[in-house]
A and B are shown apart, each in its own frame.
Chain A
Amino acid sequence: MKPQKQMITKLPVKDLAKKIICDGHLFLISGERKFYLMKPGVLVDPDFVKKHAPNNSTFDFECVVNQELKDKFTNHFRELRYLQFEKDLRLKCSDIVHDFYLHYSVPEHFLSFALACHEAFCGISLDDQLRMHETDMHLFRKALYSSAFAIIAGMTNDFFHYLMLKDFYNLTFALDIGLCESNYSYYVSEACNAENRNPGSGRRYLLKEKASDFELALFLKHPEKSYQYIKERSILAFPELAEVTLYQHELTDGSGFPRGVIKGQISSWEAVVIFSDSLVEILSEYTFEYEVISYLTNFENQKLKDLPVNRVYKKLCHAFSHFQAMKETGS
């Protein structure tokens, strides 16, 4: 259920320049016509700002982010960062998930949480984020939302350490960064979605659509490229976690890619990343943005048949049901 329209305000270009990620709808109203300029959850293009800065232009802006909520989560993450003892960490994470549950069971835009996560955990350089954004705006949005999900999935699966959660965030964000090349196309993105929905079908989709060899190579090699990226940039506090990017598309029967090795038996932390990645599709309409909790509790995907991923999902749902029970009893 989408909430009522927010108030449209005038946003000067200098205020837009302060934002990294757009937190609302940006457009220009000319007479009766509306020219749409920017979506919420996309990077604010520096070239766009440069172009309009000399004229001191103002735009029509409809904000979708609850600033108070965003600040609340930002504070939570800041506090989490400096906690040391396991009990304190667990209690803080419990608070965060509880707040998440309470706020997102009412129509609240998920972007508030995603922006707070981006501020607190993102370790990927702005250039690389721009590269991702320029390759495909949806690919960037997918990375932004799925990595925010990784934080909640990690916390509900008993990972409370700040650095570990940060690694989950960056791993999920950079999982598809290997796709950011000139050969990226609509077919590649669709193949990614197909692979996500039904593991093993991405390659078949590309062959069916008679994709070029370059597209096929890009799709089949992207886990290795993402792995290389993560290794080279050393963005992880626990570098051994980078392994998951290599076998995000490997299957237990050896029919996956890029190497076709048998890679079953994934640990729960690996399952957290894989599950979070499969929560958001590249080209979908992002229906979850206002209905996150119901989206999560009714989520269905082929990947959930994988036992460790299923366990991660169950733990997430268990935490939500617990908070729901708490809400109903008023305790």
Chain B
Amino acid sequence: MGKMNRQLAILNLTGALLPELKEYFISRNILVVDPLINSGTADWTHIITKDIHDFNLINDTYDLTQKDRHIISLSQVSDLQNFTINNGNIILDDIWFKGNLGSFIMDKYFQGYGGITLGDNYPSFQEMGSFNVTNPFNTGEYLDRMVQKAFESGIEALTLKTYFDHLVMYVAGLKKKEKAGLPFEITYGVYEDVFALQMHFFSQRLEILDVTTGLSSIITKKADEYFLNVAVQSADFFDFSYMPEVNKVIITGLWTKDERIKFENRGLMFTALEAGRIFHKYENEGASSSLVSDNEIPDFTDKLSFSQKDELIATSTVLKGSSVQEESSAVVKGSADEAITSTVVAGSETEKETLTKVSSAEEVETEDEVRIIKGEMGLDELVNVVKSKFEEEKSVIRVSGNKLDIEKVAYRIAASVDESTKESNLKVRSLGNKIPDLIKTGLFDFAKNLNKSVDDLGDSDIDQFQIQKLPEIIRQGILKKEEKSAARENNPQDSTRIIEAKLLNATQENDKLKSQLRNLAAEVRILKESRAKVAEIQMKATKAAVEVVAQKSDDPDDELRKQFQQKINDQKLLNEMELKKLGGLLERESKLIAEVKAEEMKTRKLHIENIQKETFYSQEIEKSQRQLKAKDLMLIKTKESFTKLVEKKENEISELRQKTDQLSRTLATAPSQTQTKTIKDLEKQNANLFKQLDVYKIKLSSLASKMQTTKDDDNKDDARKLQMINNQLKNQLDMAKKESEKWQSKASQDHGQILAMKQEKVRLEQVIKKLNIESSKESSAPQQPTVNDQELKRLQAHNQILENQLKENSTKVMALESKLQEALKLQRTGQPTGDDGSKVKVTQLENSVKKLTQDIVESKGLLAEAKKETNKLRQEKTALQNMVDKLKKDAVKAKAAMPKKPNGKAA
């Protein structure tokens, strides 16, 4: 954060500060700037506000984001998101300064010290326990133990539990986004009547947006949007610190038993800590392992009813006076601008450590800044204007990723010195080549304003130029560049629109401020009236007193008094009547005295009250006047800035107009060669474009006509399409027919073959019969062969089987034929008519074609099987034939062997 490198100065927008706070600032050498005196000139680092809720306005007015200034609010903030986005860091009610924690928190904030353990962050706290969360959904036992400790310490443990649950879920959400790492380490402890709970975890890429998005006050379905807000609202003080050096986030919640700190006084702090800045060592911390503290957790449910009782007690208790215990408070010595700041914790027995040294590294220029200083590179080349994430209007000037310290760089550029020399008193020494034109012209203008030439400028003048003018010149230069580039992107009309919008906004804001002013004026009027009324009452009271005195002067008792006085003077004795009268007089007198005394007391009281009221009213009036003045100032500033902006824009517009006028004039008077060329080019381009236009027109007309024709012929087209499909289907059918014919012819061939085979079979049977007859004849002979009979029988059986198979095949062929006929029938019936129902027919045809193709496939399969069978049968046939041949031969042999009959014939 680099807080220590700058002199701490605070712009006070709250009016009168609390005496404790005032004292605190004085003791820490922190300069408090009054906005009515020197807000413009002083380089303040923080701004204190109270009862302000629109932080955008504050940011716009005082350039908080751009100048790295931070807001401290001394009252509750309605929109935490808005507060944090606008560099809001700390919310701490005045009431905190009545105790000893307020100054400690402020010290912690301003000095940025702290560490990742409770002892480092809040050194006075005594650690009561610690645990690590490795599974965010498994924290029950730890939480119970912690709540037990909180109950023992007398802290409202329900809020603690709510806080812890929501915080753990928020961090678990960050873990889901890979912005937080496990484990989450938790420590809790107490210090007097304050209970603290601290969590730290590793977080590498945490952005402010991750924090602000969790601070929404609206409860929606997306729980991670309000988890952090609930946690913040559940703690009396919430401290969110980030340590960029070690990528760790430390979140601390504090709960106090102090009756003065209520819901509306709770505090909040966002800080970036510097690593290694531990200022305290707490010896006892972290000494106990929870491994060994495994005692049972007692039941504290009865405590829940106590909390209600406590509330009742709280309402009846009288506020105690603040008793600041100096012994236990942390006192931070030394001013912020000192190079080494030491922090001493008074009252603690631990060793006192010297704090870190402020590194001088941050004062050294970056490489790019050195290049700018040396004149090697122009500002335009290296400077980037970075737009704000949240509001487009805001921008920061950056060089090599870092914020450009314009004052420092400007000073060195003007001096045109080498970075390595590091001179302390640098001045503009020359107007050589290295110094940018921007600075040169600035210097010339400056000299002109002083009615001097550049050479006559004295040291004091140059100092003044460098300190006051130069940063502004460079800033203006950069902004001009940015505006120019923006203007290039947007046309002038847009820019005027933007200006108009800005003006509208400004007028709206102006109206708002005016209404606020009116309200304040009304308040002042009311206050004045009340004052007048008080004065009137006082007047009346004095008059009444005078009247009472006047009435009393006519009292009969006076005569009695005079009489008695006379008698006392004459030294006469009093009779009984007179004594009675005297007694009555005395009684009346004593009553009167008592009444007078009472009246006196009343008047005194009235007087005191009056004085109190007067002082209160005067304070209030003063406050409101200050606020009024501050708001006036803001108004004036905004007005000024807007008028400047408008002027600038007007100037630009007029410049642009002039330029266009000039150009038009030059065009009108004498066109140069280049202009004629460009005109010719433009004419050519124009002609080309016209041609293109014609072409497109023709295209358009043709497209239109096409559209017309397509509209007319829509139905015809459909019919044509259907016809086409029909034709295609017809062709397919023809093909199918041909295929079926082919198969038919094949089937007939096969049938012929089967018939031939049948005939052959019959022939063979006849042959066998003949042979049988012959063999029967032979059986009469003594040497009859039985083997042949057996073989024949077998052949017959085989023949029977073959016949059966043939029958089956023929039936299959028949079935195929019938199927083919069916298909042909379907072909004949499926003729398209081209009517309205053609579509249905087409689908029918398609289906029939499908069927046909399926049938064809089936018939092909069957045919293949039939072929196989025929082949088998052929083989069988040849085998049978062979057998028959063999039998024939045997028979011939047998015949030859038989004895011849007398008629000479063989048996």
Q: Does B132 contact A268, Cβ atoms closer than 8 Å?
A: yes
Q: Which residue of A lies closest to B277 (CB)?
A: A264
B550 CB–A CB distance under 8 Å: no
B745 CB–A CB distance under 8 Å: no
A26 CB–B CB distance under 8 Å: no
Q: Does B138 contact A318, Cβ atoms closer than 8 Å?
A: no
Given A86-B142, A156-B291, A263-B245, A240:B181 Cβ within 8 A: yes
Query: Which residues of B have CB within 8 Å of A307?
Result: 278, 281
A93 CB–B CB distance under 8 Å: yes
Task: Give the segment of A37-45, A158-166, A214-222, A284-292 that binds chain B.
Answer: A158-166
Given A84-B138, A164-B134, A267:B281 Cβ within 8 A: no
Query: Which residues of A have CB within 8 Å of B138?
Result: 84-86
B288 CB–A CB distance under 8 Å: yes
B396 CB–A CB distance under 8 Å: no
B385 CB–A CB distance under 8 Å: no
Q: Which residue of B lies closest to A244 (CB)?
A: B202
Q: Which residue of A lies closest to B293 (CB)?
A: A322
Query: Which residues of A have CB within 8 Å of B806?
Result: none
A211 CB–B CB distance under 8 Å: no
Q: With the chains together, A266 CA to B286 CA distance in Å?
A: 14
**A296 → chain B closest CB, angstroms:** 14
Q: With the chains together, A101 CA to B204 CA distance in Å?
A: 38
Q: Does B202 contact A159, Cβ atoms closer than 8 Å?
A: no
B456 CB–A CB distance under 8 Å: no
Q: Does A161 contact B135, Cβ atoms closer than 8 Å?
A: yes
Q: Does A158 contact B289, Cβ atoms closer than 8 Å?
A: yes
B275 CB–A CB distance under 8 Å: yes
Query: Which residues of B have CB within 8 Å of A315?
Result: 286-289
Most chain-B Cβ atoms within 10 A of its Cβ — which of A157, A158, A315, A319? A158
Query: Which residues of A have CB within 8 Å of B248?
Result: 265, 267
B-contact 0/1 string along A307-322, CB 8 Å cutoff? 1100110111011001
Q: Which residue of B lies closest to A252 (CB)?
A: B276
Q: Does A318 contact B287, Cβ atoms closer than 8 Å?
A: yes
Given A240-B182, A307-B281, A319-B289, A263:B275 Cβ within 8 A: yes
Number of interface residues of A (CB under 8 A): 44
Q: Does B281 contact A87, Cβ atoms closer than 8 Å?
A: no
Q: Does A318 contact B292, Cβ atoms closer than 8 Å?
A: yes
Q: Does A261 contact B292, Cβ atoms closer than 8 Å?
A: no
B42 CB–A CB distance under 8 Å: no
Q: Does A267 contact B287, Cβ atoms closer than 8 Å?
A: no
Q: Does A158 contact B287, Cβ atoms closer than 8 Å?
A: no
Q: Does B116 contact A267, Cβ atoms closer than 8 Å?
A: yes
Contact for A97 among B181, B276, B291, CB less than 8 A: B291
Q: With the chains together, A96 CA to B183 CA distance in Å?
A: 22
Query: Which residues of A have CB within 8 Å of B200?
Result: 267
**Chain B binding surface, main DSSP class:** loop
**A235 → chain B closest CB, angstroms:** 16
A262 CB–B CB distance under 8 Å: yes
Q: Does B130 contact A158, Cβ atoms closer than 8 Å?
A: yes
Query: Which residues of A have CB within 8 Å of B285?
Result: 311
Most chain-B Cβ atoms within 10 A of its Cβ — which of A94, A157, A240, A269? A240
B243-288 residues with Cβ-Cβ distance < 8 A to A are: 243, 245-248, 275-276, 278, 281, 285-288
Q: With the chains together, A293 CA to B632 CA distance in Å?
A: 75
Query: Which residues of B have CB within 8 Å of A143?
Result: none
Contact for A269 among B131, B135, B185, CB less than 8 A: B185
**B629 → chain A closest CB, angstroms:** 45
**B102 → chain A closest CB, angstroms:** 26
Q: Does A243 contact B202, Cβ atoms closer than 8 Å?
A: yes
Q: Does A264 contact B278, Cβ atoms closer than 8 Å?
A: yes
**A305 → chain B closest CB, angstroms:** 11
Chain B interface size range:
35 or more
B302 CB–A CB distance under 8 Å: no
A-contact 0/1 string along B121-156, CB 8 Å cutoff? 000000000111011001111100000000000000
Q: With the chains together, A243 CA to B247 CA distance in Å?
A: 10
Q: Does B132 contact A87, Cβ atoms closer than 8 Å?
A: no
Contact for A265 among B130, B141, B243, B288, CB less than 8 A: B243
**A262 → chain B closest CB, angstroms:** 5
Q: With the chains together, A316 CA to B247 CA distance in Å?
A: 27
Q: Does A158 contact B291, Cβ atoms closer than 8 Å?
A: yes
Q: Does B288 contact A238, Cβ atoms closer than 8 Å?
A: no
Query: Which residues of B have CB within 8 Å of A126?
Result: none
Q: Does A90 contact B290, Cβ atoms closer than 8 Å?
A: yes
B120 CB–A CB distance under 8 Å: yes
A228-261 residues with Cβ-Cβ distance < 8 A to B are: 238, 240-241, 243, 252-253, 261
Q: Does A157 contact B275, Cβ atoms closer than 8 Å?
A: no
B311 CB–A CB distance under 8 Å: no
A91 CB–B CB distance under 8 Å: yes
Given A267-B248, A307-B281, A159:B290 Cβ within 8 A: no
Q: Does A238 contact B291, Cβ atoms closer than 8 Å?
A: no
Q: With the chains together, A97 CA to B291 CA distance in Å?
A: 9
Q: With the chains together, A226 CA to B245 CA distance in Å?
A: 21
Q: With the chains together, A155 CA to B291 CA distance in Å?
A: 8
**B765 → chain A closest CB, angstroms:** 81
B436 CB–A CB distance under 8 Å: no
**A86 → chain B closest CB, angstroms:** 5
Q: Does B286 contact A94, Cβ atoms closer than 8 Å?
A: no
**B891 → chain A closest CB, angstroms:** 81
Q: Does B286 contact A269, Cβ atoms closer than 8 Å?
A: no
Q: Does B291 contact A265, Cβ atoms closer than 8 Å?
A: no
Query: Which residues of B have CB within 8 Å of A91?
Result: 294
Q: Does B278 contact A157, Cβ atoms closer than 8 Å?
A: no
Q: With the chains together, A307 CA to B727 CA distance in Å?
A: 95
Interface residues of B (CB under 8 A from A): 115-117, 120, 130-132, 134-135, 138-142, 181-183, 185, 200, 202, 204, 243, 245-248, 275-276, 278, 281, 285-292, 294
* Selected A-B contacts with CB under 8 Å, 9 pairs: A90-B294, A156-B291, A158-B132, A159-B134, A160-B134, A264-B115, A315-B288, A318-B292, A319-B291
4 smallest beta-carbon distances between A and B, as pairs: A240-B181, A264-B276, A311-B286, A161-B134
Contacts A240-B181, A263-B276, A316-B289 known; 18 new A-B pairs at CB < 8 A: A90-B290, A97-B291, A158-B291, A159-B134, A161-B135, A161-B183, A238-B183, A252-B276, A262-B275, A264-B115, A264-B246, A264-B278, A265-B115, A265-B245, A266-B246, A307-B278, A308-B117, A322-B291
